[in-house]
A and B are shown apart, each in its own frame.
Chain A
């Protein structure tokens, strides 16, 4: 019996799944926004699901699809818990920045060498723009002034 789903076709799916997994991993490792990290983790799951479905089709059984259904379940659980954690973390520091949480340690525990390096590093130059403006107590009515959006300041 000749199967229409050939090895070459399987290889296409495996390559596409691998590329999706890599992109998700790149986002998870390099982005600092908690929500974008969550989306990247979901993308890694998508790549894996693609691989499983293709393997199941190649071997002529439905086990790959059953595995993918389990992955969907785990992804739903992961989404609910991750979003609950994001809410908790946001309430504590008022920011979605994940690097704010990299120095969690108990009192009395010495800092790791990497953290000492970071403490000795050159201060980051403030980006000229709305973030570097001094924060003043607002008084009176805001005068009319031209506001240039941040996105348009880029050359």
Chain B
């Protein structure tokens, strides 16, 4: 990573951290004036603009446009989910995050997941809405909605992690395989992230090398995006093939997990037997 990029990453992280600290609720619930909020919004948008320069625009114009639309929508929605004082608004902005993520899934060629995410999270958000209406106080009047818990250290921790991720992801660039020793090949493979199916060619493994057998075993044709002739499989059909051939145990485990969670939720919230006069109360009754 060049020095300029490191400086840019630090600047982006500092702007984002300062802006989100100003947008988060105050530590003791003190009201912040509109000017402070505006300053926070300006800092965050500057940081977001700087963050955009880390992205490389996707090649077809329309795909690039939609990628920027969805990812900026997800990030802005995420920030507003975190900083909204009213939990209803948080749930609404989270819905925008889910929709944008579904759009990004579509762009990455995962149609089934895009539909599944929207359907699953629509239900989750409606349930959250019910809970907010049942339990929370409206209009952001509650003190715990207007006060944050240690916002400065939380912002510091999160944006330190963000800087580290930027530092790792920044130097990822496609590079040609060098004609040099093994050690160099390792370095280049890490920087240019060789695709799974090219690994054997990249390291120039001989035909009888045991690594080749392991690689061939790990890249099953049932899980590949393309079939033997090189044509792309339909998404849902390919996903079904992968799920029910290579990941059958995973499907069974996921079903078991759902069943266990169902039992747990019922056991946690189950109504308690009322204490009648003349009976020992609470824990004493359980022990006998």
User: Which of A8, A63, A98 contacts B242, CB < 8 Å?
Assistant: A63
List residues 163-218 of chain B with CB under 8 A from any CB of chain A: 165-166, 169, 172-174, 192-193, 195-197
Complexed CA–CA distance, A155 and B226 (Å): 60
Q: In the complex, are the beta carbons of B55 and A46 less than 8 A apart?
A: no
Tell me which of A19-27, A103-111, A136-144 binds B.
A19-27
- Asked whether any CB of chain B lies closer than 8 Å to the CB of A115, the reply is no
User: Which of B84, B91, B101, B144 contacts A46, CB < 8 Å?
Assistant: B101
Complexed CA–CA distance, A22 and B156 (Å): 11
- 1/0 per residue, CB under 8 A from B, across A83-103: the answer is 111111010000111110000
Q: In the complex, are the beta carbons of B243 and A85 less than 8 A apart?
A: no
Query: Distance (Å) between the CB of B143 and the closest chain A CB?
Result: 6
- 1/0 per residue, CB under 8 A from B, across A2-21: the answer is 01111111111111101110
Query: Distance (Å) between the CB of A14 and the closest chain B CB?
Result: 5
Q: In the complex, are the beta carbons of B71 and A88 less than 8 A apart?
A: no
- Asked whether any CB of chain A lies closer than 8 Å to the CB of B42, the reply is no
Q: In the complex, are the beta carbons of A15 and B161 less than 8 A apart?
A: no
- Across the interface, which residues of B come within 8 angstroms of A10, CB to CB? 172, 193
Closest A residue to B141 by beta carbon equals A150
| Binding site secondary structure of chain A | helix
Q: In the complex, are the beta carbons of B124 and A127 less than 8 A apart?
A: no
Complexed CA–CA distance, A3 and B243 (Å): 24
- Across the interface, which residues of A come within 8 angstroms of B28, CB to CB? 124-125
Q: In the complex, are the beta carbons of B56 and A99 less than 8 A apart?
A: no
- Across the interface, which residues of A come within 8 angstroms of B143, CB to CB? 97, 127, 131
Q: In the complex, are the beta carbons of A26 and B154 less than 8 A apart?
A: yes
Q: In the complex, are the beta carbons of A23 and B144 less than 8 A apart?
A: no
If A19-B162, A23-B79, A127-B31 touch, whether A32 touches B24 (CB-CB below 8 Å) is no
Complexed CA–CA distance, A16 and B100 (Å): 11
If A11-B172, A98-B149 touch, whether A26 touches B82 (CB-CB below 8 Å) is yes
Query: Distance (Å) between the CB of A95 and the closest chain B CB?
Result: 7
User: Which of B87, B239, B257, B260 contacts A66, CB < 8 Å?
Assistant: B239
Complexed CA–CA distance, A98 and B55 (Å): 37
User: Which of B67, B149, B195 contacts A29, CB < 8 Å?
Assistant: B149
Closest B residue to A46 by beta carbon equals B101
- Across the interface, which residues of A come within 8 angstroms of B24, CB to CB? 26, 30
Q: In the complex, are the beta carbons of A43 and B94 less than 8 A apart?
A: yes
Complexed CA–CA distance, A137 and B117 (Å): 49
- Asked whether any CB of chain B lies closer than 8 Å to the CB of A149, the reply is yes
Q: In the complex, are the beta carbons of A124 and B29 less than 8 A apart?
A: yes
User: Which of B58, B79, B162, B260 contacts A12, CB < 8 Å?
Assistant: B58
- Across the interface, which residues of B come within 8 angstroms of A57, CB to CB? 108-110, 225
Complexed CA–CA distance, A5 and B98 (Å): 23
Closest 10 CB pairs of A and B: A77-B261, A27-B82, A97-B144, A29-B154, A30-B154, A23-B78, A8-B56, A62-B242, A32-B144, A18-B165
19 residue pairs from A and B, CB less than 8 Å apart:
A8-B173, A11-B56, A16-B74, A19-B51, A25-B157, A30-B150, A36-B81, A36-B145, A43-B78, A43-B94, A43-B97, A46-B97, A50-B105, A53-B108, A62-B242, A65-B113, A77-B258, A81-B261, A96-B135
